[in-house]
């Protein structure tokens, strides 16, 4: 730990003491010095705050600043790990950060793009439109007359993140060792995931590339619009894109006032999510209300607008296929199929008893299905399934966690827009059609067409690969034959050694008999030994002959 992090660590200790986070630790698991340090610490004089543990953790993260707030936001999505009371409180964290100096923002833009702001833009608003922990947004106008937004990464933020991540890792190691549920919560793994995510968010070119791909996937769609990236003005710490004009999805009253079909709007949100996952295998994984808007045009054919594509998700073809089959089996309440699929695809260990897993799934799902359709939460059900599977040593992959988090967000937004939303009715036909299209003759031919260039590229190497494998097989046979020969030699040597030891023992017994016959006085002395001695002598003789 560097000297630069010491003041930050003292700040963390101070905040932890104020909210008595030490009371969340299992003191009995602490090393004796630390245990007694806490016992004798002045902390014991501080009263325990009246708030719940979730509130205390949330408020302590808020006091520690933007990086810890963003960590809390990410942590709130790991409902497969956190108790519900803590996850619910962390979900309330708001990433509201004061803007940095206007002059500094202009300097970053000019240094990155190599020209003065006045040459780059016809107009540039020095007052930021929005400010968050990683970057802030300014409005501007290009010389062509197009209105754009300029996203500028905070100065020196990478250094701050590096220091705070180092401290979070130290704290995660302590939690893993000393919290009652430390190992189950896997805090070190969570911090490592957060580190990769937040450093990816620092790269504006990566976000711009994600935005361009998502825009291309939905180009011409009447369901989703993605703003255009202006690549000539985009660098690693500056992003310039089209400025959109939409209604925030959280402003339900304004959406209704626009005359938008709320039922269709909610259903389209679900369809957009499943299209991204199963058709494109590239989905927006940060779908909180601040990133989603509704177009003011075509109210009877409502269109979403999405921004901030820093965090995107994708699944392997293997996982997508098994996920679709799992979801269909869940819709059909076929728990046996769900259990078998989890074993088949390797999400749970192969030795898992399918009938036990099936029973656990049934006990998890049946209470959920007893609710009215309008109250069923598909995202919550998926969460319950992940939690159940964890009991059978299922390792949740980061991509599946992103999927679950996004589905929960989409479903929550859909229910907010249209409380009677039946996600099941919208999703199941989509999944059925996707499976049919993928494995219909036309779908199979399309997959063959995509794979054909790779197969043709490898075709000239096929004879060499076949001969190589034949040689390897021959070499393997020779190796096996050699090992068998060595094993036979070893077995013969062991038999020879066994015979030699047995002959030696018989020779020693014969010599002892000869001595007794030659010395009658010695035989008479032995005859006077107690019965117990003879029994022990007989036992020793039997063991010697059998070994």
Q: How many residues are listed for the chain in this entry?
A: 547
Specify whether the CB–CB gap between 280 and 217 falls below 8 A: yes
> What are all long-range contacts of 474-479, with beta carbons under 8 Å and residues at least 24 apart?
none
Residues 6+ apart with CB under 8 A from 251: none
Active site residue 332: no
Say how far apart CA 44 and CA 49 lie, in whole Å: 12
CA-based nearest residue to 59, from 93, 101, 83, 11: 93
CA-based nearest residue to 76, from 276, 367, 282, 288: 288
What value, to the nearest 5°, has the Cα angle with vertex 445 and ends 442 and 450? Answer: 130
Q: Quick count: other Cβ atoms within 10 Å of Cβ 499?
A: 10
Specify whether the CB–CB gap between 175 and 187 falls below 8 A: yes
Specify whether the CB–CB gap between 140 and 240 falls below 8 A: yes
Specify whether the CB–CB gap between 168 and 157 falls below 8 A: no
Taking the CA atoms of 317, 321, 324 and 326 in sequence, report the sign of the dihedral they define.
Answer: negative
Say how far apart CA 380 and CA 388 lie, in whole Å: 12
Q: Which of 286, 308, 319, 422 is catalytic?
A: 286
Give the active site residues. Answer: 286
């Amino acid at each position: 730990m560097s000297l630069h992090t010491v003041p930050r660590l003292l700040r963390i200790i101070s905040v932890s003491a104020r909210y008595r986070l030490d009371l969340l630790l299992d003191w009995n698991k602490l090393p004796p010095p630390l245990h007694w340090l806490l016992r004798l610490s002045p902390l014991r004089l501080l009263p325990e705050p009246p708030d719940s543990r979730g509130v205390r953790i949330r408020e302590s993260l808020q006091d520690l600043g933007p990086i810890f707030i963003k960590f809390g936001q990410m942590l709130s999505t790991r409902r497969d790990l956190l108790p519900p009371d803590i996850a619910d409180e962390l979900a309330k964290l708001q990433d509201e950060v004061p803007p940095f100096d206007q002059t500094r923002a202009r300097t970053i833009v000019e240094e990155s793009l190599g020209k003065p702001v006045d040459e780059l833009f016809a107009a540039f608003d020095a007052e930021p439109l929005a400010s968050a922990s990683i970057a802030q947004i300014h409005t501007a106008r290009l010389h062509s007359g197009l209105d754009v937004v300029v996203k500028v990464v905070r100065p020196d933020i990478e250094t701050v993140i590096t220091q705070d991540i180092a401290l979070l890792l130290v704290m995660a190691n302590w939690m893993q060792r000393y919290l009652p549920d430390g190992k189950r919560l896997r805090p070190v793994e969570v911090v490592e995931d957060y580190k990769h995510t937040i450093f990816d968010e620092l790269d504006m070119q990566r976000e711009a590339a994600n935005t361009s791909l998502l825009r291309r996937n939905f180009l011409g769609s009447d369901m989703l619009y993605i703003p255009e990236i202006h690549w000539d003005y985009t660098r690693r710490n500056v992003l310039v894109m089209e400025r959109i004009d939409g209604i925030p999805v959280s402003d339900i009253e304004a959406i209704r006032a626009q005359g938008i079909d709320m039922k269709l709007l909610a259903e389209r949100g679900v369809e957009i999510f499943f299209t991204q996952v199963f058709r494109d295998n590239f989905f927006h994984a940060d779908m909180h209300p601040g990133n989603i808007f509704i177009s003011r045009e075509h109210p009877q054919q409502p269109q979403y607008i999405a921004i901030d594509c820093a965090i995107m998700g994708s699944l392997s073809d293997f996982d997508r296929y098994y996920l679709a089959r799992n979801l269909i089996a869940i819709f059909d309440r076929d728990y046996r199929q769900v259990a078998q699929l989890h074993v088949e695809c390797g999400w749970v260990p192969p030795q898992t008893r399918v009938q036990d897993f099936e029973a656990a799934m049934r006990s998890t799902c049946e209470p959920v299905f007893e609710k009215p359709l309008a109250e069923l939460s598909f995202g919550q059900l998926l969460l319950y399934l992940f939690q159940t599977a964890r009991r059978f040593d299922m390792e949740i992959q980061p991509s599946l966690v992103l999927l679950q988090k996004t589905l929960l967000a989409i479903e929550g937004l859909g229910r907010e827009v249209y409380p009677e939303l039946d996600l099941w009715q919208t999703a199941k036909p989509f999944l059925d059609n996707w499976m049919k299209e993928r494995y219909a003759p036309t779908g199979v031919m399309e997959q063959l067409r995509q794979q054909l260039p790779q197969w043709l590229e490898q075709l000239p190497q096929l004879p060499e690969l076949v001969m190589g494998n034949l040689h390897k097989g021959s070499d393997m046979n020779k190796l096996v034959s050699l090992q068998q020969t060595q094993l036979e030699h070893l077995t013969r040597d062991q038999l020879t050694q066994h015979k030699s030891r047995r002959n030696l023992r018989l020779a020693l017994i014969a010599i002892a008999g000869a001595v007794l016959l030659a010395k009658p006085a010695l035989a008479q002395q032995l005859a006077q030994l107690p019965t117990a001695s003879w029994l022990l002598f007989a036992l020793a003789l039997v063991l010697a002959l059998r070994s």
